[in-house]
Each structure stands twice: as C-alpha cells, then as structure tokens.
A and B are shown apart, each in its own frame.
Chain A
Amino acid sequence: MRVNPNLVPDILAAIQQSQATLNTALQQVSTGKSVSVPSDNPAASADMVQNTIESGDVDQYTQNVSGVLTMVQTADSALGSVVSALTQAISLGTEGASGTNSAANQQALAQQVQGILSSVVSQANLSYEGAYLFGGTASSTVPYTASAASPSGYTYNGNDGVNSVAVGDQLSVQVNLPGSQIFSNSSNSVLGSLSTLVSALQSGNAASIESATTGVNTALSYVSQQRVFYGNAESQLNSQETYLQQETVSLSTQQTNLVGVNMATAATTLSQAETANSAALAAAAKVLPTTLLNYLSTPN
C-alpha cells in the first residue's frame, strides 16, 4: 500500500502531543498540584470541595475553642476569687460568733464582710471583651446593681439564658452559667448569705451570726459545685483543641493526597517530556526538507 507522502499532519500531531505533555508536566512541577481543574480528576475535585468545607469548619471550631477557652478560664478564676472571698467571710463570721469581740470590733467585722460582698459583686459583674460573663445572655447589661428593695441589697438584671458554642460537627459546649444560678439562687444565694452575715454582725447577736456563717458555708460549697461546670467546660475545650489540631493535620494530608503531586515523579515526567519534545522537533527538522531532489546533482 502506498504510504501518505505528506508527512506534515503526522509531524504536527506528534509535535502538538509532545508539547501538551510537556505543558502538563511543567504545570504540575510549577504548581505542585496534579489537579488544577475539575476535569483533571473529577472524583478528587469533588472530594476537595468537601475537604475545603471541612477545613474551613475546623478552622472556625479552632477559633471558637480558643476564644471560648479564655472566656471560660476568666469565669473560672472569677469564681475562684469568690470562693476565697467566701472562705474569708466564714472566718470573719466565726470570729464574730465567738462572743469575745467588742461592739466596735463587731462593726469592723461587719464592714469587712460588707467589703467582701462588694468584691463578690464586682466579680459577678466581671466582663470579658465587653460582654458580662454572668448576666446570662443579656451580656450588655450590668448583671448586679445596688438596690435597696432587694434583701441582699443587689438586684439581678440579667436573664437565665445560656449559650452553647459549636466546637465540632456534632459537639457544642455550654460556656456560661447565668448569675441568677450562681450568685442569687433562691435556695443558695451567695449575695443573700453575705448580706445576712453583715446584718447579723451589725446586730451583734452571736446565735444569728453563727447561723449566718453556716449560711455562707453552704453558699461556699454551692459555688464550688457551680465552679465544677467551668472546670469541665475547660477540660472539654482543651481536649477538643487537641482533636482539632489532629484533624487539621489529617485534612491537609488528605488534600495533598487528593490534588498534590509527587515531586520526584513529576520532575522525571517533566524531563522525559522535554526529551520527547526535542526529539520530535529534531526529527521534524531532519525529515521535512529531505526529497530526492537533494540528491540530484545539477548536470554539468
């Protein structure tokens, strides 16, 4: 069979193909990615969409955890101060109930307890980044303000709402307790018990001082119980932070597996493609101008 005497289409196709291979290899080496457009690998591209969304989620969860963790730690340390303030109040109450104090000393003790009450209230009004920690979800209102009408001398302006923050796909952590539960609970009011102790010390009645001190003691154990909530939240957040760090690493590994390129292979492919391309060009240059005419010498 006669072969096609016109070599041009074959040569063009060969050059084009070797150039396309060279371009692909070059692109893979320069970008470090084996998938630049979805058609390069549709399944990997679809997985990448999910991976990108998950990475974004994990980043946000990580931010949530670190933001909330500081807040919970602040609240926890505030409750720690309250606990030590209450302990101090109990020892003052015990001293007042001993019956060995002069009236002036009793008044001094009462004033000290009053000071403790104020410091507890200031802890209860603690804010973190402009939001009150113990006002429920009414974070822009000062939780406790002085009020003559209230038996404890302070009235609660917050609400009973609690916030949960998502720190994982199916995991959210409750991050606050309302002040109404911690400080002015109807059965175990911290502020109420301190204010009762102040009035008892002012009155000087040993029996009532003793019972008021017991009240403060009960309030102390109650606050300690409430504090456990923040400790739990803190440890939960810490372990979630570790998990999220691992998740970030595994997502980025998955990303590399999906669209990344093996540099050694890519570099080898590139150098092969370069060789093939120059071979195609060299062959074309040699073959195209050669005809029988080149060998016919002009007659002398």
Chain B
Amino acid sequence: MNIAHFEEHSFIYGPGCRFVIWVQGCSIRCKGCWNKEMWAFEDRIILSVKDLLLKIKNEKELIEGITLLGGEPLDQFDEIYELLVECKKLGLSTMLFTGYEMTEIIEKKMSSLLDNLDILITGRYDKTKRTMNHQWIGSTNQEIHFLTDRYADYQIENNNYTEITINEDASLTILGFPQLKTFEYETNLIANTLPKPHVPALKPKLCQRACKANAPREIV
C-alpha cells in the first residue's frame, strides 16, 4: 500500500480510539481539497497489507477500530479490501472516507467493500458546502452511512473537532479541522515538520502509469 501518513491512536476519526491511515494518491482531486499533498501517486510510505496489519495488531489493546482516508482509499481497492477483511477478523470496527458516491461504488463493482465496513462516509468534497462544524464530514453534501448495527446507538455530535498530539520530542501533530489562527504559535512550530502542500506535476495518464499496480479502475 502507498500510505501518506498514519496515526496509531486518534480520537476524532470515528468512534473511540482508532488506528487512522491516510492513503497516498487520489484520482478524484476535489477542488479546495485540504490534503493536496496526498494527491500524487508517488511513493510515500510503502507497506504491504501484512506489515500494516502487524502495526495494527500491535495497537489492538488500545484501539477500537481502523479508519481509512486519504488520498482516495478506493484507488487502492484490492489492498484496502484485504485490510478491511483482516481487521474485521480481528474484531476491529472499520470506517472509510471516500470521495465516491454510494451509487458510484456500486457501479464500479466495489460494493463487496460494504460488507466489511461499519461506517462509510461518501461524496466529493465540495468547497462551496464546506463545513468545519460537522462531525467527520468536510462538506455538507457528504453522507455518513452506518452499514452495520455496531454503532446503531452512536450519536453524531456536530461540532468542530481538532486533535493536537504533543509527541514525546515535544513536536506537535494537529489533526482534524483546526482553526489554525487559534494555535498560530504552536502551528508555526510545526510548519517545518509537516509535508509542504504539493501539487503533483504528473499528468493523470502518467499518474496511472506511475502507480500501475494501484491504479484506479476508472479515472473520474
């Protein structure tokens, strides 16, 4: 798998403490996307599903489940599918954010995924409908699907969520929808450690070639 970043423990991308994986590479590329540096199909953190599972297993006592986002997770469908199946076997809950609509997932014959997910968030990021006040979604057109009963009683709380991690070396990791001006001083401190926003130089066709194994089934 080509991964942009992962957090072993996060509390804002789904219920409870979760192992969160941002995949690298996105064929959808919504205008106004927050994570442009995750668009390119260039190698970032390359891990086999088996190795990633080992990392997840190491945290099993502390986490409730895994969450996948990106980038576009479904651009690495085979690996994502395998990962979700294995995580389900471990008893972990599964959650995935995709830019595809539910109808597209079915049309693209990726619906087998749905049997292995507890929560699915679908839909393009639409900057005209941007929200920082809803739980889990970045624009109000996006939809949250509870696909199993596991979180049937879960109450969505529409607030602004930000997670700041103070690492052991005193560096900070800020996740979620931070209103950065509030933490200007601290974010200035981390500016040097975060990957710089990167607009990929590769054209879409080259993108597919560069990432042949993980190439999306269809480019939208």
A and B associate in one complex: no
User: Chain A residues in contact with chain B, CB under 8 A?
Assistant: none
